């Protein structure tokens, strides 16, 4: 599916296709993780969970395809002083996402599932570093191709991802009691300034 989308995007929208090319190649690597991942300890198979998971994965790519055919003016790159920053965001987000998925490879899943609790590497920085990378990528694209429609689509995607994170964390909390402490220490998408750390109880003196 991603190979077909990559071909269509490159033929219809060269600028967008070039920006998405690393993402398409990355998604092929994601497919490999399905061959080596652990069996789930717990999973959510509700319709809501599946809609959040699959819409979150494919909504933006579908928007780019459909929107280009009806309103190609939404996707015209515009040079600005922020363009170099946007390119760094796009490339950095792509590399970060690839690193996070590779670190998660044995526990990777699209639908909410608990396979193993990963708290090291990029997961020591954020509970959902894969989504952090996607956010940075899409923001870089929005800066390069600014339009109200793109911004609204990104807002819808953000809401889907927020629900997806909530459902994933519900499964992880049920499967791993230690997840509560991990959630307290680490922010969802990155470090949280001034996060309060629970104090250890004082030891009574004899």
Domain limits of the chain?
2-185
Dihedral of alpha carbons 109, 40, 38, 182, sign: positive
> What's the pLDDT tens digit per position in 155-172?
999 999 999 999 999 999
Contact 153, 138 (CB under 8 A): no
Domain 2-185 sits in CATH at: 1.20.120.1630
How far CA 160 is from CA of 17, 50, 120, in Å, comes to 24, 11, 26
Contact 138, 160 (CB under 8 A): no
Consecutive H or E run containing 133: helix 129-144
> What's the pLDDT tens digit per position in 25-80?
666 667 777 788 888 989 988 999 999 999 998 898 889 888 888 998 888 888 88
pLDDT at 143 over 80: yes
- Write down the pLDDT at residue 202: 45
């Amino acid at each position: 599916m991603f190979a077909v989308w990559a071909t269509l995007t490159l033929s219809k929208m060269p600028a967008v296709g070039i920006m998405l090319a690393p993402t398409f190649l990355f998604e092929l690597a994601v497919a490999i993780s399905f061959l080596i991942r652990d069996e789930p300890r717990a999973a959510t198979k509700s319709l809501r969970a599946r809609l959040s998971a699959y819409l979150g994965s494919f909504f933006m790519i579908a928007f780019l395809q459909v929107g280009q055919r009806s309103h190609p003016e939404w996707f015209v790159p515009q040079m600005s002083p922020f363009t170099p920053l946007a390119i760094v965001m796009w490339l950095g987000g792509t590399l970060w996402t690839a690193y996070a998925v590779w670190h998660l490879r044995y526990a990777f899943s699209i639908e909410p599932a608990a396979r193993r609790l990963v708290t090291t590497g990029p997961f020591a920085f954020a509970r959902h570093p894969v989504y952090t990378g996607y956010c940075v990528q899409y923001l870089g694209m929005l800066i390069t191709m600014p339009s109200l429609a793109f911004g609204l689509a990104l807002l819808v995607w953000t809401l889907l991802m927020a629900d997806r994170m909530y459902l994933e964390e519900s499964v992880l909390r049920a499967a791993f009691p230690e997840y509560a402490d991990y959630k307290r220490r680490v922010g969802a998408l990155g470090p949280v300034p001034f996060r309060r750390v629970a104090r250890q109880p004082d030891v009574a003196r004899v």
